[in-house]
Amino acid sequence: MSEMLSTEICARELVALSNLCQQGMSLVMIQISPVAAAAGTSVPDLELPRDCVLIAVIRGEVVHYPRGDTRLQPWDRVFALVDRASEDGLRDVLSRLR
């Protein structure tokens, strides 16, 4: 399923992504480094930008939908919808070193 999420985007979804871009939003994927402070941190404890929503966490081949008890692990691939102005802030939170 994670491979499907990562690689199969049909024309309708491309239009939806294009609309997001026109609205100043980005769909991003950030992989959690083993030395990142976010590794081992639960989602509510992350200092995420206000205009950001975590959509999915792919761990190995399993897709997880982030909830309050979700704890990020090294090598997780985190998918988020974020206002373009806050994208650097999101990347900083998820990749900041310990």
Residue pLDDT, tens place only, 36-67: 999 999 999 999 999 999 999 999 999 999 99
> In which band, very low, low, confident or very high, does the pLDDT at 23 lie, cut at 50, 70 and 90?
confident
Residue 68 has pLDDT above 80, yes or no: yes
Task: Return the beta strands (E) in the chain as ranges.
Answer: 25-31, 52-59, 62-64, 77-83
- Is-contact 43 66, C-beta < 8 A? yes
CATH superfamily of the 2-95 domain: Regulator of K+ conductance, C-terminal domain (3.30.70.1450)
Over residues 56-84, mean pLDDT: 95
The owner of tokens 């900041």 is: 96
11 — pLDDT class (breaks 50, 70, 90) = low
Q: What's this model's pTM, rounded to 2 decimal places?
A: 0.80
**For the chain, which residues make up each domain, given as ranges?**
2-95
Q: What secondary structure letter does DSSP report for 22?
A: H
78 beta partners = 30, 57
